[in-house]
């Protein structure tokens, strides 16, 4: 179902309550070290202001666990946003209460206010109805532009939608568009590229996408458990023994369906991941005892690259090596460049994958880079995301019922 977006709503002169994801990293001096999440919300924010609405922003920051703690205040985010917009952003002292309501009601058209950290109240993560109702009372319409929190049924993402008309911002609208396309109508050949450390995180994705993808390429630390299940020596590489049964099941399903799961055929290995003094490329897929895989090797880069070049759609979630260390980044960089420079629709999962693409300066070359790591994984798993399900549908003008 298509969801209503901000452009489908009449917001002129209204109080717009908007959920953003300003959970930005701060240094010891409480200065923002990466403002990309704030910049990502600017198109929606500017549109709302341009429509003459009063904008009330809300977000969480960190894990204060229901306590008011200065190091988790959203004041740095409000200051950053003010500088980016070139206009004042009023930082409010809380997110609920009579004083906050009076401040909001006193706003003029085009004003922007920032509520204090939602997670200073335990009721936020509990999706407490009364807390959600208080939040909702601040606005006349709700806009969700925080995809990174859409997989959580919290008061500010799902609860408020029971009291206000709920629509998506431009950021969430774009996420829905791309993920729905790859899940329902991907252009084929469709390649799923998976990496990262943990098999457990990706098994539900593989189970859902095995019906849709033409091939699944697996690199990163998670590949070693697959290889070990197939009887390949992985040396001292990461092994999730407890996932062996599920991996066997996945491999069996893939074989039955005639869908190829492609694993590394060589590796970059080291005998000490901290010093990386000794590094070499294996001759084949096996890894000697005392050595551990830290990246895919050149033969695997070529193999994966050829698969990607033949594709029309590529979904990538998880780096294929420890890309944070330049010595172990060649595989992830090479595949990022191939995807960027191939005529494919590319959907990049959030988190480490997005960080890798940013590191290699390829953000603008990708079709879509998700702003939510956990949310993008759950979307690919086929799960209903409460923060999206609770938005109004274009054709029915009502919310989908979210169970549980």
Residue 180 lies in a domain: no
204, 349: one domain: yes
Q: With contact defined as beta carbons under 8 Å apart, do 3 and 388 qualify?
A: yes
**In sequence order, what are the beta bridge partners of 190?**
313
Which candidate in 126, 198, 309, 359 is catalytic? 198
Residue 402 lies in a domain: no
- Residue 332 phi/psi, 5° resolution? -60, -40
CA angle 149, 81, 9 (to 5 degrees): 60
Q: Give the pLDDT confidence of 263-321 residue by residue, as tens digits.
A: 999 999 999 999 988 999 999 999 999 999 999 999 999 999 999 999 999 999 999 99
248, 330: one domain: yes
pLDDT at 1: 52
162, 216: one domain: no
- Known catalytic residue at 196: no
Distance CA 118, CA 245 (A): 41
- Known catalytic residue at 382: no
pLDDT at 399: 42
Burial of residue 397, with CB atoms counted within 10 A of its CB: 0-12 exposed, 13-18 middle, 19 or more buried: exposed
Residue 378 lies in a domain: no
Which candidate in 62, 260, 374, 382 is catalytic? 374
CA 140, distance to chain mean position in Å, is 28
Distance CA 151, CA 42 (A): 22
Which helix (H) or strand (E) segment holds residue 112: the answer is strand 112-114
155, 237: one domain: no
Q: Give the pLDDT confidence of 345-400 residue by residue, as tens digits.
A: 999 997 899 999 999 999 999 999 998 888 999 999 999 999 999 999 987 644 43
Residue 399 lies in a domain: no
The enclosing domain of 55 has a CATH number of: 3.40.50.1260
How confident is the chain (404 residues) per 10-residue block, as mean pLDDT?
A: 90 97 93 92 97 98 95 97 97 97 97 98 98 98 96 97 97 94 93 94 92 94 96 96 95 88 97 92 96 98 97 96 96 97 92 92 94 89 93 68 35
263, 165: one domain: no
Distance CA 110, CA 187 (A): 42
- Known catalytic residue at 331: no
Domain housing 97: 6-175+384-389
> Own/partner pairs for 224-228, CB < 8 Å, 24+ apart?
224/287, 224/293, 225/199, 226/199, 226/251, 226/261, 226/263, 227/263, 227/264, 227/285
Q: With contact defined as beta carbons under 8 Å apart, do 306 and 298 qualify?
A: no
Which candidate in 148, 169, 196, 351 is catalytic? 351
Residue 29 lies in a domain: yes
Which candidate in 4, 14, 15, 37 is catalytic? 37
Residue 400 lies in a domain: no
Residue 264 lies in a domain: yes
- Name the nearest CA neighbour of 30 among 62, 1, 67: 62
146, 192: one domain: no
pLDDT at 36: 87
Provide the token pair at 2: 């298509």
Count the residues in the chain: 404
Residue 200 lies in a domain: yes
135, 191: one domain: no
256, 144: one domain: no
Sheet holding 15-19, edge to edge: 90-91, 112-114, 54-58, 15-19, 141-144, 166-168
169, 207: one domain: no
* Other C-beta atoms lying within 10 Å of the C-beta of residue 111: 18
20, 44: one domain: yes
pLDDT at 396: 61
pLDDT at 400: 39
Number of domains in the chain: 2
- Residue 270 phi/psi, 5° resolution? -140, 160
267, 127: one domain: no
- Residues 6 or more apart whose Cβ sits within 8 Å of residue 367: 178, 344, 345, 346, 347
- Known catalytic residue at 284: no
The pTM for the full model equals 0.89
207, 158: one domain: no
């Amino acid at each position: 179902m298509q969801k209503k977006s901000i452009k489908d709503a009449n917001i002129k002169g209204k109080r717009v309550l908007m959920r953003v994801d300003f959970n930005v990293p701060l240094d010891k001096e409480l200065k923002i070290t990466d403002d990309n999440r704030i910049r990502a919300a600017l198109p929606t924010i500017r549109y709302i202001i341009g429509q003459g609405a009063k904008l009330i922003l809300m977000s969480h920051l960190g894990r204060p666990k229901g306590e008011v703690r200065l190091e988790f205040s959203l004041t740095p985010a409000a200051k950053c946003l003010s500088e980016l917009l070139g206009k004042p952003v009023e930082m409010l002292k809380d997110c609920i209460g009579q004083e906050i309501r009076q401040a909001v009601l006193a706003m003029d058209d085009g004003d922007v206010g920032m509520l204090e950290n939602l997670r200073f109240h335990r009721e936020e993560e509990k999706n407490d109805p009364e807390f959600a109702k208080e939040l909702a009372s601040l606005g006349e319409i709700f806009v969700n532009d925080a995809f990174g929190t859409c997989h959580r049924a919290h008061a500010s993402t799902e609860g408020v939608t029971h009291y206000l008309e709920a629509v998506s911002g431009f950021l969430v609208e774009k996420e829905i568009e791309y993920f729905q396309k790859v899940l329902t109508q991907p252009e084929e050949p469709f390649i799923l590229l998976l990496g990262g450390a943990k098999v457990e995180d990706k098994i539900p994705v593989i189970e859902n996408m095995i019906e849709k993808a033409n091939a699944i390429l697996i690199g990163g630390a998670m590949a070693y458990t697959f290889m070990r299940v197939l009887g390949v020596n992985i040396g001292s590489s990461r092994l999730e023994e407890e996932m062996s049964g599920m991996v066997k099941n996945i491999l069996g399903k893939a074989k039955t369906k005639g869908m190829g799961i492609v694993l590394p055929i060589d590796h970059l290995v080291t005998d000490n991941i901290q010093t990386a003094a000794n590094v070499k490329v294996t001759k084949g897929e096996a890894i000697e005892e005392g050595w551990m895989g830290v990246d895919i090797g050149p033969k695997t880069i070529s193999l994966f690259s050829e698969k990607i070049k033949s594709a029309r759609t590529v979904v990538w979630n998880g780096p294929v090596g420890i890309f944070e260390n330049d010595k172990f980044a060649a595989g992830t960089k090479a595949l990022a460049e191939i995807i960027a420079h191939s005529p494919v629709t590319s959907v990049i999962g959030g988190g480490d994958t997005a960080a890798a693409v940013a590191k290699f300066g390829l953000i603008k070359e990708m079709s879509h880079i998700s702003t939510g790591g956990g949310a993008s994984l759950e979307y690919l798993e086929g799960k209903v995301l409460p923060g999206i399900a609770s938005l109004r549908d274009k054709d029915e003008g009502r919310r989908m019922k979210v169970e549980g």
